[in-house]
Amino acid sequence: NNKNIPIQAIGLSLYEDLATSDSSSDPEIIGAQVIKTQWLHFGPSYADTCPLLGKNILIVDEVDDTRTTLAYAIRELLKDIEEEKRKFIEANAAGTPVPETKLAVFVLHNKKKEKLMELPDPSIVNEGRYFAAEESPDKWLVYPWEAIDIDEHTIKSSLRKE
């Protein structure tokens, strides 16, 4: 099979301003501001197509902590899929079945704690399409690709294991 599997990257940032106003203790406010820094871009060759329809889409994230950014990513992706469904229905004969898109999630670390958000598509969990490489305690994780000085990071990591 010489089929290419396209990979798209999105970038999201979660901004938590925990002590700047009286509303900072409201769970609806804390960590609720997710900013898109990069979103899907299929290029001009996909302008008249529906590249998300009929696909199995795997969303990959480092850590499922509060689930805020993961839920946001899925919610935004579902909006894009709904828009493509609308375009597909307009462009095709009545009764033409809309290709089904399935989402799955893979995280490196799932922090074992109560999440602030539920996944917007419950079928991801209900149908066994949520995967975690490791279940981990609710502790701060520092990944090598986030380190300013990789050598220092490696030394500190080695010392923690001893």
Cα separation, 30 vs 149, in Å, equals 30
Strand 56-64 with 102-111, pairing: parallel
Cα separation, 123 vs 39, in Å, equals 23
Q: Which of 61, 64, 65, 121 is catalytic?
A: 65
Query: Is residue 65 annotated as part of the catalytic site, yes or no?
Result: yes
Amino acid at 111: K
String of DSSP letters for 95-138: TPPPPP-EEEEEEEEEESS--SS--S-THHHHTT-EEEEEEE-S
Catalytic residue numbers?
65
